Amino acid sequence: MSAAAGRPVAIHQFIATLNPHDATGTHALKLREALRAAGWRSEIFAEAIHDDLAAEAHKHWTYPEHAAEGDVAVYQFTTSSAVAGYLAERGLPLILDFHNYTGPEYFAGWEPQSVRRATAAAEELARLAPRARLGLAKSPFSEATLRRAGCRHITVVPVLADYGRVTASPDPRVAAELARLRAAGGADILFVGRVVPSKRQHDLVKALWAYRRLYDPRARLHLVGGTASYEYSKSLHGFIADLGLAAAVRVTGEVSDAALAAHFEVADVYLSLSAHEGFGVPLVEAMVAGVPVVTRGAGAVADTVADAALVLAAGDHAYVAAALHRACTDERLRGILRQAGRLRSRRIAADAAPRIVGAIERAVAEAA
Amino acid sequence: MDHTDTDATPTGAHGAPEDPKAYVEQVMAEIAEEVRLRRSSGDLPPKLERELDELFLAHSPVAGRGGDLGEALRMVDAATFIDPVVPVESERAAGQFVKKGMRSLLLWYVGWVTHQMSQSASAVSRALHIVDERLTELERRVEVQRVPDAGVIEFPSLHGPDSWWVEPAVASLAKAPGRVLHAACGDGWLVRRIVAAGGDAYGVDPRPRQVDVPGSGPSDLREAAVVDHLRAVAPAALGGIVLSATVEGMAGGERAQLLAAVGTRLAPGGTFVVHSVSRTSWDAADAPAETDLAPGRPLRPEAWCRLLEDSGYQAEARQGPGGNDFLVVATRDAVTAPYAPSGR
């Protein structure tokens, strides 16, 4: 029951896939919590639901069993999904919570299936954006994408994330393993993200190769995150082996929150050379954890980090290696980046949920 | 790793700015200088970046094993037969006997299924071989009509540090929001000029031995064709792109590919600079012999402006002395859809 509207209205969320460890899944769960705390009836409907979250959501096609007059749909847009067509056909008042999507060009030559899906995502966005009453963009970069797609009313609000997970108790087994590696000397460079072409983990490997050759022959790179591209992952492993870096690059796959915390605890620097980011939650996590950030300013990255990171104009390995060297050894720079990072992350996280709920409530009130 | 803030207060090391933002800016400038010194000292030869890219692409399905159809077909052929006789080795003592027993029990069933799967795969493989044969024949016929790439065509009197267009080109790049790329950079004369004016620039040139000229100074120069290079650059990563001695002899298709790559790699607010010789220079008796061999002819400045404005740029052309050449400077506020040739 919404006091603001004066009649029963539910604000339900729709999402392609509800996963426990990804940014969109976490955002959806936290938004539901915030909506319920504000007095709204709110459920999550998904095309696919991770087993661990089976009790948290419903299949999207069961929505009619929960439907009521005056319902509003918030669609968590990240990729192509049957949910988009479902919402377009039902004609519910729509709020587009836009996390951006990775364009087909990033998968071309790697994953034909992903190319098709990304192309379909662009078409679905073009279909839904003009009829959305409100677009919630995660960055000015995404705002521009949403506007080009035809969305007329847009508010920029941050992602709701569990940033505290990176400063929680680290997994003791992982921490011990990382400590053992660290005892051999050399810097620990961290990147967190799915192993996919758009994240350009192979550029990180090139940068490590140059950094070891020029500055720190014992440096290590930790690539944390599951893979969504078998071909890219396979090529990455072959590349690592060709460069003789098999012992220096750890590709961990998906890890628990506690294992993630162990990686942030040991990292000297967080390095991202991603070619596309709709927001970049791990960048903020690095800032929360007090790890200096070196990054390419692609997509929304420059908006997310603002002045709290070394934002590189180019991604070639020599340039990145030199930046890594400064970020790992210049204590004054490290101090500045840590302090700026903590301030920036606090600013991003501050009142995020009330701001989003407020924006949604205003849109609902205007529509009523 | 200690992540405390104890060292956060800017203490102002000798000669370093007190203001944290100013210090970070100084660090960025020092990083750029460090890279230039490293490159000029030979620590990182300009070709190395490309060699690393090629090493990585050798593993990819597009440029590696799967990129060659014949090789891919051999992989298909090798995987066509599905062996129903599963291995029975085991680390446990009784495991081998258990597995062997299960295999004997199930072989009649598994063998029947795998036989059909192998037959199906063989049929697909045969169809692919027929496609391969027809494609090979098509390629042979197309090759006869192939339009060659234009390549770099330099006019010595118009391409050099003293040319009239260098100053306005450098000035137009003063506020480029990122690195500037010069295509057909030669020994890096324009790259050094942009850097001297306070910009951050690098160059590519497809001509062998152009970029490794001894004594050409500390510049970031790479041996690569501009389109190939742009495809390897991240979207919206460049603040400026300068094309000289590059576009004049291009056929329409090659030019469209280049403009599409420029369109996606140029950052919002970036500057696109094109220098081209005029048709008068192109047809002159003392023009380089490559002009006769090129598949295309220079566009007029009006055509360049029209082409770029159709792709979302604001373009302005400036004629050179005697009508020998011209300069087009184009800017664009937002990244738009890649260039697509219109019907005009």
Give the pLDDT confidence of A64-113 residue by residue, as tens digits.
Answer: 999 988 899 999 999 889 999 999 888 889 999 999 988 887 887 787 77
What ipTM does the predicted assembly reach? Answer: 0.84
Q: Which of residues 191-210 of B touch A (CB under 8 A)?
A: 200, 202
Closest residue in chain A to residue B13, using alpha carbons only:
A332
Q: Provide the 8-state DSSP code for B300.
A: P
In this predicted model, which residue has the larger pLDDT, B159 or A108? B159
What is the C-alpha to C-alpha distance for residues A31 and A42, in angstroms, rounded to an integer?
9
Q: Which of B172, B177, B178, B207 is nearest to B190 (CA)?
A: B172
User: Taking CB atoms and an 8 Å limit, are B10 and A231 in contact across chains?
Assistant: no
pLDDT of residue A207: 95
pLDDT of residue B250: 95
List CB contacts (< 8 A) between B179 and chain A: 313-314
User: Taking CB atoms and an 8 Å limit, are B24 and A307 in contact across chains?
Assistant: yes
User: Where do the domains of chain B lie, and which CATH numbers do they carry?
Assistant: 81-144 (no CATH), 151-331 (3.40.50.150)
Q: Which of A242, A249, A305 is nearest to A274 (CA)?
A: A305
Has domain A11-156 been given CATH number 3.30.70.260? no
The strands making up B314-319's β-sheet, listed across from edge to edge, are: B221-223, B201-205, B179-183, B238-244, B266-277, B325-331, B314-319
pLDDT of residue B3: 54
Q: What's the one-letter identity of residue B208?
A: P
| Residue A355, number of CB atoms within 10 A of its CB | 17
pLDDT of residue B46: 64
**Per-domain residue ranges of chain A:** 11-156, 163-348
Q: Which of residues 9-68 of A touch B (CB under 8 A)?
A: none
List CB contacts (< 8 A) between A308 and chain B: none
User: Taking CB atoms and an 8 Å limit, are B35 and A206 in contact across chains?
Assistant: no
User: Taking CB atoms and an 8 Å limit, are A109 and B13 in contact across chains?
Assistant: no
The CATH architecture one would assign to domain A163-348 is 3-Layer(aba) Sandwich (3.40)
Q: Which of A345, A170, A173 is nearest to A266 (CA)?
A: A170
Q: Convert the pLDDT of each residue in A117-143 to its tens digit.
A: 888 898 999 999 999 999 999 999 999
What is the C-alpha to C-alpha distance for residues A2 and A360, in angstroms, rounded to an integer?
12
Our CA-based measurement puts residue A286 at a distance from the nearest CA of chain B, in whole angstroms, of: 11
Average pLDDT over residues B15-23: 81
Helix axes of B47-57 and A230-242: crossing angle, nearest 10 degrees: 130
Q: Which two tokens stand for residue A294?
A: 């070196």
Helix axes of A281-288 and A331-349: crossing angle, nearest 10 degrees: 120
- For residue B336, pLDDT over 50 is answered with no
Residue percentage of chain A with pLDDT more than 90: 74
Question: Which of A154-163, A171-180, A269-278, B215-224 comes out lowest in average pLDDT?
Answer: B215-224
Max avg pLDDT among A80-94, B64-78, B155-169: B155-169
- For residue B78, pLDDT over 90 is answered with no
Max avg pLDDT among A81-95, A188-202, B100-114: A188-202
User: Taking CB atoms and an 8 Å limit, are A332 and B7 in contact across chains?
Assistant: yes
Mutation target among A100, A316, A331, A334 for the B interface, most CBs of B within 10 A: A316
pLDDT of residue B214: 47
The strands making up A154-156's β-sheet, listed across from edge to edge, are: A58-59, A44-49, A11-18, A72-77, A94-98, A134-137, A154-156
Whether A101 contacts A125, CB under 8 Å: yes
Average pLDDT over residues A223-227: 92
CB distance from B162 to chain A under 8 Å? no
Dihedral over alpha carbons B235, B274, B222, A327 (to 10 degrees)? -50
What is the C-alpha to C-alpha distance for residues A135 and A157, in angstroms, rounded to an integer?
10
Could you tell me the pLDDT band of residue B89, with boundaries at 50, 70 and 90?
confident
What is the C-alpha to C-alpha distance for residues A231 and A198, in angstroms, rounded to an integer?
13
Could you tell me the pLDDT band of residue A114, with boundaries at 50, 70 and 90?
confident
Mutation target among A288, A333, A334 for the B interface, most CBs of B within 10 A: A333
Q: Which of B239, B147, B228 is nearest to B194 (CA)?
A: B239
